[in-house]
Amino acid sequence: MDIEDSIESKKSRTKILFIDDEVKFKVVKILQAAGWIHTQLIKDVKSLDQIEVKESKIIFVDIQGVGKELDFKEEGLGLASALKEKYPHKKIIIYSAEQKGDRFHKALRQVDDSISKDADPYQFQSLVEDHA
Amino acid sequence: MFLYKITDSNGITISNSIPSDLEKIILEYHDKTLKITINETPYRFCKLSKDGNNILGITDNVDMIKSAKTMAKEMSFLFRSIESLRVAYLMAQNEATIHVKRLIHNLVTLNAHNIQEVYSIIPQEIMQNKKSGWKERVVERVNSDPYEASLSLVRIAKNSLKMKTEIDVYNTLQSDKPEITLRSHEIHRVLMNVLYVFFPDFTDKGVKVNVSESTIRTAIDYETFQVAVYHIIENTVKYIKPDSPLDINIIKNSQTNKISITFKMNSLSIEAEEIDKIFEEGYSGNVARKCQRSGSGIGLARARALLKYNNANLTIEAKYETAKISILDHVYQDNIFSINFH
C-alpha cells in the first residue's frame, strides 16, 4: 500500500522530459496515460537553462538528431553529458536505435541509464519508477 | 589458371580465389609444393610463408608446373601486395559493417514506432489482469477511441512498408540488381496501396489527394515498384504546400500507347540547376535544406533506380514561372513528377 502510494505520488509530481527530433514519438503519450502526467517532449534544446530542462527531474535524450541547436559535435551524447555536468542531481537517460558500441559505453559512464528505442512501455515505465 | 589464398599474420583471409573443395585436396598434402593431377588435369600447388603471412597457390600453367622455383617466384610478388590487400579488405569490411548498422538502426526505430502504436491503444497492463475477459477489455479500449486505434493501424502499415524500403537499400549494397518479376498489375490499384499508408500524413497537412480513375494495366515488379512509389509519395508529403491538392493521373498516349503516371503538386521550389542533382544519392535541394526539411537525400535516387528495373523513368517538370513566397517565407511552385514507362 505504502509503495503504491509512493509511486502514485511520484507520478503526480515528477516532471519528465524527452529530447527527440521525432515529435510523434508516442512513448510520451503512453507514460502520460500510465499516470506520469508531467511528461513532455521537445525537439531539441536551445539553452541548457530553458525552462523545460530546468523543471524536469528525469531527462531522456535521443543520441541522434538532437544537440544540434547547441552545436554539440557528438549530438545527443554531447548534450546528455553537458546536461549531467550542469545538473548532477537530475537523472539523464540516453536512448537510441544504435546497437551498443564504443560511443554508447563512453557516455554510459556519465549518464544515469540507457534504454533501447524499441523497448516496450513496461521497460520505459520501470526505468522512470527507478529514477523518480 | 592461377588461384591463390592469402592469410595474413592475424589469421585473417584477406583474399581467396581457391574453391573450398580444391583447397581441401591441397591441404591433404604436407608438401610445400607438389605436382598433382585432379580429374586427369595436371596442376602444381605451392605453400609459401613469410613474416607470419601465408599464401597458398594452385596453377595449371605449364611453366609453373615444370618448375617449382618459377611458381615460387611468381607467388613471392603477392607478398609485396599483402599490405594493400589487407587495407582493401578492412575497408570493405568496415563499409559492410556501416551498412548493417544503418539497417539495424532504422529497423529498430520503425520497430519502436510500431510497438508504441500498439501499446498506446492497448496498454500492456490490460493483459496482466489474471481475470478472464481480455477480449472485452481490449474491445473496450479500442472503442474508447476508435479513430486513434484505426490511425495506429494505418501507421503500423506504413512502418511495415518503410521497413521494405530500408531492406531494399541494404540489398542494393549487396548486389545492384534486385530480384525482378514483371507481372501485369492495374496501376491505379498499386498506387492506392501505397497512398493508403500516407492518408494520415496528407490529412495532417490538409492535402487533398485526387487519383484519376483508370483501369490501365502494365507489367511491373510489384515489390520494387511499391518501394519506388513509396519514396516519391514520402518526398511529396514532406515538401508539398499545406492545404493544397495532389493530383495523380494515369495516362496512356493514344498514339504511342506509352503509359505515364503524373503527380502534380504545389511544392517547395527546386532550383533550375538542381533538377538532375536531386536524383543523386545524398543530395537534398537548397530550398528544402533552408526550410530544414531535407532528409537523407536517398529517396529519389532509389526511386529512379528501381523504376529503371520496371522499364520506366522518373522525371520532374519544375514550373518556375509559378514560384511564390508563401508561409514562413518558403517558396512554393508547381512541380510535376512523372513516371514514364518505355
Determine the pLDDT at residue B236.
95
Give the distance from residue B105's alpha carbon to the nearest chain A alpha carbon, in angstroms. Answer: 5
Mind listing the pLDDT tens digit for each residue in B290-337? 555 555 667 898 899 999 999 999 999 999 899 988 877 789 999 999
Determine the pLDDT at residue A73.
81
Mind listing the pLDDT tens digit for each residue in A110-128? 899 888 888 888 889 989 9
Query: Can you tell me the distance from the alpha carbon of B59 to that of B78, in angstroms, rounded to the nearest whole number?
Result: 15
Residue B82: which pLDDT band, with cuts at 50, 70 and 90? confident
Query: Cβ–Cβ of B116/A99 closer than 8 Å?
Result: no
Please give the residue that has the higher pLDDT: either B127 or B245: B245
Q: Is the pLDDT of residue B266 over 90?
A: yes
Domain count, chain A: 1
Please give the residue that has the higher pLDDT: either B173 or B57: B57
Determine the pLDDT at residue A37.
94
Determine the pLDDT at residue B282.
63
Q: Is the pLDDT of residue B202 over 90?
A: yes
Residue B67: which pLDDT band, with cuts at 50, 70 and 90? very high
Determine the pLDDT at residue A102.
55
Instruction: Give the domain CATH number at A103.
Output: 3.40.50.2300
Query: Cβ–Cβ of A30/B112 closer than 8 Å?
Result: no
Contact residues on chain A for B109, CB-CB shorter than 8 A:
22, 97, 117-118
Determine the pLDDT at residue B283.
61
Q: How confident is the model over A41-70, as a mean pLDDT?
A: 92
- Give the structural domain span for A84: 2-131
How many A×B Cβ pairs under 8 Å? 49
Give the distance from residue A118's alpha carbon to the nearest chain B alpha carbon, in angstroms. Answer: 4
Determine the pLDDT at residue B170.
85
Q: How confident is the model over A22-29, as a mean pLDDT?
A: 82
